[in-house]
Structure 1
Amino acid sequence: MDIAQAHEKGLYPRTNHLYRSEHCQGCPLCRECTRSRKGRTMNICHDLERQKGIVRENMATERGQELMIQRSIQSEGTFGQLKEDYSYTRLRRRGKDGVEFELWMVAAGHNIRHYCNRKSQMKERSSHLN
C-alpha cells in the first residue's frame, strides 16, 4: 500500500511515500520480523533519494573530490577549533534570526582572536629582530 504525504513546512516542500506491507497478517515470522501490529512500513522521499544520487555521482568525479579536500582544509578546521579549543558544541538560540545572530557573533569572536594572535606573533618577531 502506498500513501503519499505532502509536507509544505520548510524551505523545500517534499512528498514522502509511506509503504506498508499487507502480507504480514498471516506470517508466522511476523513477531520476529517487526514489533508493529500493522506490519512493516517504509517512509521514502523519492526527490531526496534522487538528489542524494546526484551528489554521490558528483562526489565520485575528480572535481568533486578536489572540492571536498578544499572544504576540509578551509572550513572544517575552523569548526574543529571552535568545538575543541573553545568548547562550542551547540547553539543556544532558537529561530533563524537567533541562530544567524549567534553564528555571526561566534565568527566575529573567532576572527578577533585570530587577529590578536597574529598581531602578538608579529610583535614577538619584531622584538627578536631588534
Structure 2
Amino acid sequence: MDKSEKTIYTCEDCSNCEYKSKCIKGNNSKTTLEERIKNLEISKLFNKLRNDELERILSKEGCKLRMNRSIQVKGSFGELKQDMGFRRFLCRGKQNVLAESILLAMAHNVNKLHNKIQ
C-alpha cells in the first residue's frame, strides 16, 4: 500500500471573513471562533484513486454493470417484501440471520420454480 501524502493549506487570516462561522465547524473547542483558523488537508493518493474509480464507473462497462445491478436486486427484494410479507428477521446473531436468509432464498427459488411449472 502506498503511503498517503497530504498537502495542508492553512488560512493565515480569516478574521474578516463573512463565511467563517459556516466554514469552521464545532462549538466545543477551547479556543474561541475568532481565534481559530481553517486547515484544509488534501491527499494526493486519495484524489488519484478517486479519479481512477470515477473513470471506471463512467466507462461503458461500468455503466452496463451499474444498469444490470439496479435491475437484478430490486425484483427479488420486492417479491420477498410484498408477496411473501417479509419485513424483518425473527432471530438474532449472524449465524441465525444467515440461516433465515438462506431459507428465504430457498423459498423464493421454490416459488419461482412453481410459477414456471404452472
**TM-score, normalised to structure 2's length?**
0.54
- Aligned partner of 2:12 among 8, 19, 22: 22
Matched, 1:33 2:19: yes
Matched, 1:45 2:43: yes
Where 2:8 maps in the other structure, the secondary structure is strand
Residue 55 and residue 120 in structure 1: after superposition, are their counterparts in 2 closer, same or farther (change >3 A)? closer
Matched, 1:109 2:110: no
Letter in 2 for 1:119: V
Where 2:53 maps in the other structure, the secondary structure is helix
Percent identical among aligned pairs is 18
Equivalent in the alignment of 2:68: 70
For 2:75 and 2:4, the matched residues in 1 are separated by 33
**TM-score, normalised to structure 1's length?**
0.50
Higher strand share: 1
Structure 2: which 5+ runs fail to align? 22-32
Aligned length: 99
For 1:46 and 1:76, the matched residues in 2 are separated by 37
Cα-Cα RMSD: 4.0
Equivalent in the alignment of 2:87: 86
